[in-house]
Amino acid sequence: MGTVVNHVFNSAFDVVGGLPGGPLSDVVGGALVLVRRSLFFVPEGVSVAQSNSSLMVSVNSGSVAYIRQVGDAVQISGDPSFFRAYTVGDAGAVSVSVGSAGNAGCAGVVVTSGTVNGALSTTGIDALRFGDGAAFSGKVDAVLSAGTLHVRDAVRGLDGVRLDAAVVLDSDVEVDAGGKDARFTGTVDAARAGGQSLTVTALTSTTFEAAVGGRAALASLLTRGIAPLSITQSTDTKTIPLHYLPTYNANGQPQVKYGIDVAIGNNASQMYEFDTGGTAFFAGYNPSFWQNVPLSTTGLSVDYSSGNFYNSVVSTTPITLGTGSATVSTQPIQIGAILSGGNSNSGAVFDFTNPLVPPVESNFFGDFGASFAVLPVTGLSIPMTSPLFQLPGNLSSGFLVQLGPIGTDPQLSVGVTDALRDQFTYAIPVAQLIGSGNYPVSGYPVLQQFGFFPQYFAQDGTGAKQPIGTEQFPQCASQCLPTLIDSGAPSTGIRLKDIPGGDPYNVNGQLQPGVTFIAEFPTTQGRTPLEWKFTAGDTGSVDLVQYQGGSVATNTQNVNTGLTLYNYYDVMFDVQDQVIWLRPNGGQSTVSLNSVTTTGNQTYQQKATLGGSYSTGSGDFSVAGVAALAGDTVINAGSGDVTFSGTVDGAANGQQSLTVNSSGATTFVRQVGSNFALKSLVTDAGGSTATAAVTTTKDQTYNDPSVTLSGPYRTTTGDFLVAGNAELAGPASIQTGGPGTITLTGTVDAQPGRGLTLELTTAGGDVHLGGAVGAQNPLGGVVLASTADAGATTVTADGAINLDGGLGFANQDGLSIGPAVTVDFRHGGLVQNFTKTGIVLDQSEDSTLKKFIVSNNGTGGIVATGVKGLTLTDSAVMGNGAPNGGDGIDIAGGIDVNITGNSIIGNNGDGIAVYDDADPVIVNSEDIKVIGNVITNNTGDGIDLKDADGVEISGNTLTTNTGNGILSLTTDDATIETNTISGNGEHGVTVDQGTGNTILSNAISLNIIDGISLQNGGNANQAAPTVASAVIANGRLIVTGKLTDRSGDYRLQVFYSPPPVNAQAPPVQGLQLLSDGTETTDSFTVDVPGGSLWQGSYVTVTATVGDNTSEFSVPVVITVAP
């Protein structure tokens, strides 16, 4: 009975406690106390004992202790009206301990209002509630060893919160641990499944040691390091979205960059790198995006630490930042129009003319500088500087950059107000650049680009802090370094100008991973001093600290914080107050969880340590910061979206798996397993998945119908599977180890207009492409490889493969097939417009290429080097080799190669060239079959053989090639039979030096020089027969002659040719075979059917002695017997 009464009255007191203070609520509260005392004999039972600043509060069963801060006083009472409250005056910080609840339970603590200057600890209390805005400035520690702690509304301990109990949420609850930790040692459940939500704010860490929602699911769970900034949109402040746009280096590691949309004049916008370390705005000149924008003749060039350089002229024009409704425009200001540029490190040359192909880091058309620096220009009275200091009104007073934690929802807010300043914790003074005047438009004094001077240290474990840097600066009493906060730099750089010393724990040019990097910032305006520190690692923009030489921006030692600082702080550049404001954004905080069940969203706005299962009903699941898996993790999001904005890693290599079940969108914004590989990654069969580089030791399985790939994908021994269609958002390379296979079941396409590339490598595992590649949007190249000495890889394709080297970002070669790779591509495709070769095969074995169109590739159509068992069939190889020459098909060392049924037309070189690969010789060319091809209009020879033995050329049509129809150079034992060889620019067939080459049963005509030519001992200079006569008699053509140059029997072929059309026509050769027989004597007579209509036509003959075929005999006119 007592417990029931206690619950009823305490609930009533909760209602009264929520009423506005005043006489009415006091009367109601007092009446409730009297009723409980007189009718139910339950005293309020709250007493207070004080010892110095410690207050010991005893709460009997069925009672509630009400606590509030009123001015400088703390009041404690047993009823919500604070009737006869115990009051502690201005006594400084207090420690409030509440306990002695008794056996009946239902004892509670309610903090009604104000921020109590002190800490709160409770023992045995099973109900806890904080009113609107009520808090303790110290830590709140609630312990309940048995039973359930019921929490309502809020718990706020600004120096930390620990709830050491099984917790039930009786309402939506906010837990605020301020700048310290929030800890839940027991389970956390809703009072009614799906009825209550929990929000936890803790700048350091939030830990759930037991399951959340395991008994009764929460409605939602939100954890964060700090409450978000309040940014009011007005004429004084406007927010513009930025874009997270990573690029990948040669090792597949992402380089983090951010972009901003900018329109020049009244033209469409393009994407530019948002660079708080850069000076002024430099935009690539493309007339389509600069219409009605004048260019001056004032030139200037700029260089960047990245190696980028721009050669520009000055243009004065308004610009517009952002797109849609989120835009801000300037008056006409000075910007740089980039006419040429490139990167001095890579040798890249920037081309700004293709709007689908941003040339700078593959994402940008220039650099939007946002540093404090100005750039004087010879001939101009006004220096160039960032457009952000030249906006209208208060918008030019400064700007706020939010890129963290890690990169969720990056944005730029222009215009600094007092309302924004009041929300920032730290104010870093920035030095004025004396003698540089004021910024144009805004008129504020120019500030130094490296305008503030922290002290930097490195510390290993508990050892002493080691100072970084050696130069002394007048701004500091002790060692410090001028500093720049640069969004364009992907990692923290310490630039020491190669001066010895001042680089503690320098390992291969970086701060040793595991060492603590410490920066101590000076502050102003009465703000708390700032110490920024983190543990150095190897991940760019997260924890990588590099020791570097100098920088192009200053000749002193300095530090560029890079993007790393943005992961910890929102940064506001305030030119009006000459301050950089920093406010923690939660990126330094961590939440640790062990299974969570909600009916709605789970939102973790900081780093997260995950393990167990996470179910959201159909709500969204998101982690804003770095995620570490402490155990196997399963996310069940129903139709909700799943988003990991930061990197995802295991606790140790290959130990933790991640499974995501969602019919919504699953997005991994950054790389997975780059530091510690996951064991496996699996997504289910609904929705879509977007990834950006994944490393596992076992399988990667993407079962969604739509999967987006970008960056490197690696498995140590596992398989890689995409069950649906794949789209490339960036260059992608997939590599499996051990016996791992690669399967792309559906189609594979690039993004529209972007020639993105795909590389597939296994260690002997097979590759299967189940759908068309590039059918909707061609790829810019496919590379197929097998790990060295790992065994053969077989690649099969069930659809066509379409590649276009004319698109931006394309490879130089189209389809590259590496050593020990066997392809079975029978469905063809289109490979065109590559700067080098369309299809390259290097030491491939038993490959089949069928039904391809290979056209307009710069140095050749198909090149096969050192191949065995290759079949090229039913394909068209056309128009390759422009402008500097290239063959249609090159076999540079091949055994058992079959080239059949192809059209090889209009290449700027030989149609087909077969030769030994000279350096080194991988295999000798032999057993090559060229059968049934149409080879025409090539600028070299139709077929060119060199050092290629045992080649069969039969059934081909070789016409109007600029060189020979067939050239056989230093080649033995070729068989040239049943071909049509006509109209070629030199000889029909030339044999130069080689022997044993049979030339039989061909239709050879109208070749400019001759039909068959033996040169330099070719075919042992076998002499042609001499024809004595060709006479028609009695319906028969009788040809007589002799061959004296023979060493045995010989094969004699007789050919018919019509008379030349005029004197300028090519010589008579051998158009139609009339007779094929073996002769045993020098003299021969051949008798074949013939008619008088042949009169005036010609007969030629060839002799083949052994396997050496002669040239055509001198033509003899056919006559009719009298």
DSSP for 388-421 reads GGSSSGGGGGEEEEE--STTSS-EEEE---HHHH
Look at residue 166 and tell me whether its pLDDT is greater than 60.
Answer: yes
User: What are the tokens at 225?
Assistant: 């390091």
Report the greatest alpha carbon distance in the chain: 155
What tens digit of pLDDT does each residue of 708-733 get? 999 899 999 999 999 999 999 989 99
pLDDT confidence bin for 17, thresholds 50/70/90: very low
What tens digit of pLDDT does each residue of 461-473 get? 878 899 999 988 8
What tens digit of pLDDT does each residue of 178-192 get? 999 999 999 999 999
Q: Whole-angstrom Cα distance, residue 192 to residue 216?
A: 6
Which residues partner with 218 through β-bridges?
Answer: 598
pLDDT confidence bin for 452, thresholds 50/70/90: very high
pLDDT confidence bin for 42, thresholds 50/70/90: very low
**Cα-based angle 460, 466, 552 (whole degrees, multiple of 5):** 110
| Cα–Cα nearest to 65, from 111, 102, 8 | 111
Look at residue 567 and tell me whether its pLDDT is greater than 60.
Answer: yes
Buried b (16+ CB within 10 A) or exposed e, 295-318: eeeeebebebbbebbbbbebbebb
Look at residue 4 and tell me whether its pLDDT is greater than 90.
Answer: no
What tens digit of pLDDT does each residue of 948-978 get? 888 999 999 999 999 999 999 999 999 999 9
Query: Is 861 in contact with 886 (CB distance < 8 Å)?
Result: yes
What tens digit of pLDDT does each residue of 369-409 get? 999 999 999 989 899 999 999 999 999 999 999 997 765 68
What tens digit of pLDDT does each residue of 293-306 get? 999 999 999 999 88
What tens digit of pLDDT does each residue of 51-97 get? 888 889 999 888 899 999 998 899 999 989 998 899 988 657 778 88
pLDDT for the residue 105: 59
pLDDT confidence bin for 37, thresholds 50/70/90: very low
Query: Is 174 in contact with 154 (CB distance < 8 Å)?
Result: yes
pLDDT for the residue 45: 81
Q: Whole-angstrom Cα distance, residue 565 to residue 255?
A: 16
pLDDT for the residue 51: 86
Which residues partner with 368 through β-bridges?
Answer: 274, 281
Q: Whole-angstrom Cα distance, residue 428 to residue 423?
A: 14
Look at residue 104 and tell me whether its pLDDT is greater than 70.
Answer: no
What tens digit of pLDDT does each residue of 257-269 get? 999 999 999 999 9
Provide the mean pLDDT of the chain.
Answer: 92
pLDDT for the residue 790: 75
Q: Whole-angstrom Cα distance, residue 626 to residue 621?
A: 14
pLDDT for the residue 260: 98
What tens digit of pLDDT does each residue of 874-907 get? 999 999 999 999 999 999 999 999 999 999 999 9
Distances from the Cα of 798 to the Cα of 728, 823, 825, angstroms: 19, 12, 8
pLDDT confidence bin for 555, thresholds 50/70/90: confident
Q: Whole-angstrom Cα distance, residue 1098 to residue 1113?
A: 11
Domains in the chain, ordered, with CATH? 2-84+92-224 (no CATH), 238-403 (2.40.70.10), 429-584 (2.40.70), 600-707 (no CATH), 836-1019 (2.160.20.10), 1026-1120 (2.60.40.10)
- Parallel, antiparallel, or unpaired: how do β-strands 627-638 and 607-615 relate? parallel
Look at residue 31 and tell me whether its pLDDT is greater than 70.
Answer: no
Q: Which helix (H) or strand (E) holds 872?
A: strand 871-873
Highest mean pLDDT among 279-288, 490-499, 529-538, 921-930: 279-288
Buried b (16+ CB within 10 A) or exposed e, 947-972: bbbbbbbbebbbbbbbbbbbbbbbbb
pLDDT for the residue 457: 95
According to DSSP, residue 567 is labeled G
Give the start-end residues of each E strand in 19-153. Answer: 46-51, 54-59, 64-70, 73-77, 86-88, 94-99, 108-113, 115-116, 118-123, 127-130, 135-136, 140-152
Look at residue 32 and tell me whether its pLDDT is greater than 60.
Answer: no
Look at residue 1071 and tell me whether its pLDDT is greater than 60.
Answer: yes
Residue 944: CB partners within 8 Å, gap ≥ 6? 887, 910, 912, 913, 914, 915, 963, 964, 966, 967, 969
Question: 705: alpha, beta or left, given left = phi > 0 and alpha = psi -120 to 50?
Answer: alpha
According to DSSP, residue 634 is labeled E
Chain-centre distance for alpha carbon 927: 45
pLDDT confidence bin for 792, thresholds 50/70/90: confident
DSSP for 744-790 reads E-S-EEEPTTB---EEEEESS--EEE-S-BSSSS-BS-EEEEE-TTS
- Please report how many Cα atoms fall inside a 13 Å half-sphere around the Cα of residue 339, on the Cβ side: 12
Percent of the chain with pLDDT over 90: 79
